[in-house]
Structure 1
Amino acid sequence: MSAIDGLPPLRAVIAEHGLSAKKALGQNFLLDLNLTAKIARQAGDLSGLDVLEIGPGPGGLTRGLLAEGARKVLAVEKDARCLPALAQIAEAYPGRLEVVEGDALEINPLERLTPPIAICANLPYNVGTELLVRWLTPETWPPVWSSLTLMFQREVAERICAAPGSKAYGRLAILAQWRSEARIVMSLPPEAFTPPPKISSAVVHLTALPEPRFPAPAKRLERVVAAAFNQRRKMLRAALKGLHPQIEEKLEAAGIAPTERAEQVPLERFCALARVLEEG
């Protein structure tokens, strides 16, 4: 795989630059360039796209994205130790890789990207969920991105794709499935990483829908779902009592039994409840 760009294997890159993974940064490096190329391919045809990558580390996935034909990759990296390794990749792909040093939670990358945009990343574990929620909840829809191809801990990936009635079903499933098509496309064992994490990982591919599956005011839906699953063991009439003084009536108007629990309620009913509450 390294022969495609003339760059050294990732183990050699890590050794050259002293890139031991830092737990504080949520780092677990994928060193198999065949695997990183496979992840890049899960994002689909990249030839006409700008790609945002968060936490590239030594650049394994970055190289895969570029080799798969991404028009441009914007890589946001917090760890300054990784910058020299990424600079070598930029030299091998002139004009196609831009590296920004900084915290992905504090940087607005849109000014550096031209639509259509895909996001593809082996997300640092400590910021992955927050970034996903941000990407799923912009004020306007469709979003600036056409697809998300993201690696998470396996249990987080299962929560994104979970069906009603399952233990994994919750806020992430609602937010992801309301506005996108989400599916798990790859699974990776701990030993694929250096250092090996204690859990398995999975890649989720989310494709933005042209419009949400069901109409609902976004901010209201977010509040309803957060309150419902924050106390998921309670009946909804108790979990949501802070949202409206006549919450039982509102639940019934939305077609939800007040004695149901959040994990029993499908997406369509949550959207209906958000609409009812928005009416006052």
Structure 2
Amino acid sequence: MDFLEELHANQVGKIKEYEPLANHTTIKVGGPADIFVEPDSIDLLLKTMEIVQKHHMPWRVIGRGSNLLVSDEGIEGVVIKLGKGLDHLEVNGTEVRVGAGYSFIVLANAMARRGLSGLEFAGGIPGSVGGAVYMNAGAHGSDVSKILRKAHILFPDGTVEWLSNEEMEYSYRTSVLQKKRPGIVLEAVFELREGDRELITVEMKKHKHYRRETQPVKPCCGSVFRNPLPHHAGKLIQDANLKGFQIGGAQISELHGNFIINTGNAKAEDVIKLIDHIKKTIFESTGIHLHTEVEIVQREID
């Protein structure tokens, strides 16, 4: 039985061939995945990975695609999307157990309605819980490391383990999953605290208003560069008079220098060229090396 036949035989979930990843990234660019799978549950994700390993298929996991730039050539092998099958939610007092496919913004709003505090910073962060936990997403002086109790992780060898906050080894926009122990976030347990529903809602509205006033609404991939602290990437780009600069259909946002928007017909190549231009310009003018926060995925060509 070949790889596709085995996936279908096990009814793991949604399976497509040559699925355009522009349909699954927030910047709306990206070529096809050879095979695209959206498992219907954690158990079926585990089965999918078992089949992937059995057939020695190259693989990659995505969430809501908010921090992802896929090349125009697409991704070889299998792309596994953590979506509707992994969007469960349980709330017990101040403890929240949530699937990796759950929207981070939707979770923040749901907890605000319950009068649970700790996720106010997430009210404007696009993407999934899994992606947020993986990269220690944050804003407004807080981040995932402040609220995560533990994360349920699937490792490439098929083992599944709960990692504590300490074992996640969080730092600025990074975790142990990016460095020493690559793995897939299945679900997370957050420890929130009881708060005043009205005050939480006001705080979230303030953050939402700030983002609406300072960040683009057109398709984009979120913050492009990590802040080279104590500097801020957006300010460096603004000071270099790069806001509004455009290559093909990709443009540096007029609102915020650290965002690249798709004006309607951008290719991934346009975005990558624009990123390279920004890096070169900032280094020549300041001596500062900018490093991307967005993950750039390019097909390996023999």
Q: TM-score, normalised by structure 2?
A: 0.28
Which has more helix, going by share of residues?
Answer: 1
User: Could you say which structure has the larger radius of gyration?
Assistant: 1
Q: Which has the higher contact order (CA 8 A, sep 6+)?
A: 2
